[in-house]
């Protein structure tokens, strides 16, 4: 069974600083996608970034970037120049390719941004 | 693009009544829609997967007769909680995905908070 582990229940970062959220996963599949979703207090799940396993290049989306280590099954999220609006729950998620695939979520990391 | 709406955003009902929650993809055709349940301070738990025109596939432990799912069109799925009880109180979230590009990316609705008295 696929599992996604987020070992940091809570993280804190000062405004304008950089923070890295960790995520590891376990799978026997070779082709899959990884995601980071953000859930602010409004509870709307927002897609932050998406990585395709067959691509070696790390995905980047403005201030958000990932460090994808396929052999180590690691998928960390780096947030640069942190802003107050980045405060939220962050969920790492995995899905194998193919129809009828289901997202597997990690337990989440709550990010606090301080002044 | 890729906007998913849910209605209502919150609902309070009496024990024993049924509640219907709608999930719509506003600007794309959703071949597959998913229903999740989220307890406070926890991750999302998948309840069921539905494809347009087909019966929903329920996860283990989810009562299909209690949580009725209908996916009548490529833009609308509904979740009906039948004979609701206080333990059904939760935050319900739907998501939608398309077979187009990019594949396998789910876009989430804003969620519905259900409170059963």
Could you read off the pLDDT of B12-31 as tens digits, one per residue?
999 999 999 999 999 888 88
The tokens describing B13, both together, are: 């009902």
CB of B56 within 8 A of CB of B86? no
CA atoms within 13 A on the CB side of B99: 8
Q: CB distance A91–B43 less than 8 Å? A: yes
Q: What does the alpha-carbon distance between residue B96 and residue B90 come to, in Å, rounded to a whole number? A: 20
CB contact under 8 A, A91 and B95: no
Q: How far apart are CA B3 and CA B95, in angstroms?
A: 10
pLDDT tens sequence across B32-49: 899 999 998 899 999 999
Q: Give me the total of CB pairs closer than 8 Å, taking one residue from chain A and one from chain B.
A: 45
Q: Which residues of B touch A35 (CB under 8 A)?
A: 105
- Which pLDDT score is estimated for B16? 96
Q: Each residue of B54-75: pLDDT tens digit?
A: 889 999 999 999 999 998 888 9
Q: Which of B23, B104, B110 to mutate to test the interface with A (most CBs of A within 10 A)?
A: B104
| B18 Cβ contact list (under 8 Å, min separation 6) | B80, B81, B82, B83, B84
The percentage of residues in chain B with a pLDDT greater than 90, rounded to a whole number, is 74
* Interchain pair A102, B34: CB under 8 A: yes
Interatomic CA distance for residues B8 and A112, integer angstroms = 30
pLDDT band at residue B102, thresholds of 50, 70 and 90? Answer: low
* Burial state string for A29-62 with b = 16 or more CB within 10 A and e = fewer than 16: eeebbbbbbbbeeebbbebbbbbbbeeeeebeee
pLDDT, residue B28, reads: 86
B31 within 8 A of B77, measured Cβ to Cβ? no
Chain A residues with CB under 8 Å of B111 CB are 43-44
Q: What is the rounded distance in angstroms from the CA atom of residue A54 to the CA atom of residue A70?
A: 9
Query: Using CB atoms, which residue from B42, B49, B110 is nearest to A44?
Result: B110
What pLDDT score does B98 carry? Answer: 79
B110 at interface of A, judged by CB pairs closer than 8 A: yes
Q: Give, in order, the Cα–Cα distances in Å from A14 to each of A28, A66, A101, B34.
A: 38, 20, 38, 36
Q: pLDDT by residue for chain A (115 residues), tens digit each?
A: 689 999 999 999 999 999 999 999 999 888 899 999 999 999 999 999 999 999 989 999 999 999 999 999 999 999 999 999 999 999 999 988 876 678 899 999 999 999 9
pLDDT for B106 = 87
The answer, for B40 touching chain A at a CB cutoff of 8 Å, is no
CA distance B70 to B80: 8
Q: What is the pLDDT of residue B11?
A: 97
Cβ(B52)–Cβ(B74) below 8 Å: yes
Residue A105's pLDDT is 95
């Amino acid at each position: 069974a696929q599992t996604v582990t987020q070992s940091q229940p809570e993280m804190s970062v000062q405004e304008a600083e950089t923070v890295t959220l960790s995520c590891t996963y376990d799978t026997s599949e070779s082709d899959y996608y990884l995601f980071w979703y953000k859930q602010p207090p409004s509870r709307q799940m927002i897609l932050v970034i998406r990585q395709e396993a067959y691509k070696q290049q790390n995905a980047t989306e403005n201030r958000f970037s990932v460090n994808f280590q396929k052999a180590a099954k690691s998928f960390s999220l780096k947030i640069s120049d942190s802003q107050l609006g980045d405060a939220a729950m962050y969920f790492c998620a995995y899905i194998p390719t193919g129809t009828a695939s289901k997202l597997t979520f990690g337990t989440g990391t709550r990010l606090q941004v301080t002044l | 693009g890729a906007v998913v709406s849910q209605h209502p955003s919150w609902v309070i009902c009496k024990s024993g009544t049924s509640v219907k929650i709608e999930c719509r993809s506003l600007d794309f055709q959703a071949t597959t829609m998913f229903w999740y349940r989220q307890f406070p301070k926890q991750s999302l738990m998948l309840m069921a997967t539905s494809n347009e025109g087909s019966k929903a596939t329920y996860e283990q432990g989810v009562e299909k007769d209690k949580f009725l799912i209908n996916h009548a069109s490529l833009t609308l799925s509904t979740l009906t909680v039948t004979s609701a009880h206080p333990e059904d109180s939760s935050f319900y979230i739907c998501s939608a995905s398309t077979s187009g590009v990019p594949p396998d990316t789910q876009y989430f609705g804003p969620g519905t908070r259900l409170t059963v008295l």
